[in-house]
Amino acid sequence: MTRSPILLIHGGAWDIPADLLEAHEQGVFDALQEGWRVLESGGSALDAVQSAVTSLENDPAFDAGRGSFLTRDGRVQLDALIMDGATLRAGGVACVERIRNPILAARLVLDRSPHVYFVGLGAETFAQSQGMTLIDNSELVLDRERRRLAEAHAREQAGAPDRTFSGHPESDPNETSHDTVGAVALDSEGRLAAATSTGGTLNKDPGRVGDSSLIGCGCYADNTAAAVSLTGWGEPIMKLVLGKWATDKVLAGRSPEQVAPEAMAYLLRRLGGHGGIILLAPDGRYGLAHNTPRMAWGIHTAAGPRTGTLLRDQDENESENS
């Protein structure tokens, strides 16, 4: 049976300032176009989420690829995961410093390795062995992020509480940015896929890995259940294995429209965590939710694209099928 394809995207969940709203919506819109081009020409959900996330990584507005947050010692370290719901094949990389598009390295892991996950130097060596060109880390670093890191260090030195969400209990979703990106898709053959990519958290310790690239945490896809991508404060999401929690609920018969806001409520209630979620079932039902002031989101169906940066007060409207 031929299905009507669907693509959902997020570009981070936080209190996106007014002067950044347009850039976020535009970035999500561009990524929708890239992913939809694949789906409307009969391509796979896996290729669609890869295209969408590559576009978001290439956009410096987001905390993924070039322009990501810096580690405590001023470097970009990137994490990404891609998963095929039809086969449960997955590919992940973490703590890579010399790869422009970690989602493409993750796809190489999925396609060409018997393993699921590579980190650091091993991930870079694997990607290079598969033909990927390694770059200098400085190519991923923006002056904007050098300034942001310097401000975080100045706050630390002044003894101010660390509100940059690197695991601190006083982390504040209104003050901290979560620009992790992700996509989930359903293709015309009924296959689901998911992809998530991030530069992690501002001022993170080198070697820290968040939820985004960990299977079942920030990303998961299974045709018998659902596809999911999360954004937000990684440590609580990891502790709850929240991506798998959400897809298991759909597998048990709950609707994604209900499960998405429940996942965000659970994250807040259980661990004080904050973030956003996109969740897509194999029958085309979907849910989006966030417990932060805003989330950059986009949906493309046969009816066309829609984007926005606010859902919280519109959950009922935005979780309806088109």
**Residue closer to ligand GLY, measured from CB, 223 or 229:** 229
CB of 201 to ligand GLY, least distance (A): 5
Q: How many helices (H) and strands (E) does the chain have?
A: 9, 12
CB of 232 to ligand GLY, least distance (A): 5
Length of the chain: 322
**Residue closer to ligand GLY, measured from CB, 5 or 276:** 276
CB of 148 to ligand GLY, least distance (A): 16
**Residue closer to ligand GLY, measured from CB, 145 or 187:** 145
CB of 316 to ligand GLY, least distance (A): 26
Which backbone phi and psi does 228 adopt, to 5 degrees?
-145, 145
CB of 94 to ligand GLY, least distance (A): 10
Q: Quick check: helix, strand or coil at residue 5? A: coil
Q: Name which position in 102, 232, 256, 276 contacts ligand GLY (CB under 6 A).
A: 232
Please tell me the number of Cα atoms within 13 Å of 239 on its side-chain side: 13
**Residue closer to ligand GLY, measured from CB, 44 or 77:** 77
Please count the residues of this chain forming the interface with ligand GLY, following the rule CB under 6 A: 12
> What's the CA gap between 219 and 202, in Å, rounded?
21
Which backbone phi and psi does 278 adopt, to 5 degrees?
-125, 135
Is residue 176 a contact residue for ligand GLY (CB under 6 A)? no
Q: List the interface residues with ligand GLY, window 180-219 (CB under 6 A).
A: 180, 198, 200-201, 210-212, 218
Partners of 186 in the beta sheet? Answer: 6, 192
Long-range Cβ pairs for the range 189-192 (8 Å, 24+) = 189/2, 189/3, 189/44, 190/1, 190/3, 190/223, 190/282, 191/44, 191/45, 191/46, 191/84, 191/85, 191/86, 191/223, 192/45, 192/85, 192/86, 192/221, 192/222, 192/223, 192/226, 192/227, 192/280, 192/282
Q: Which residues of 112-122 are buried (b: 16+ CB within 10 A; e: fewer)?
A: eeeebbbbbee
**Catalytic residue annotation:** 180
**Residue closer to ligand GLY, measured from CB, 233 or 297:** 233
Contacting positions for ligand GLY (CB under 6 A) = 180, 198, 200-201, 210-212, 218, 231-234
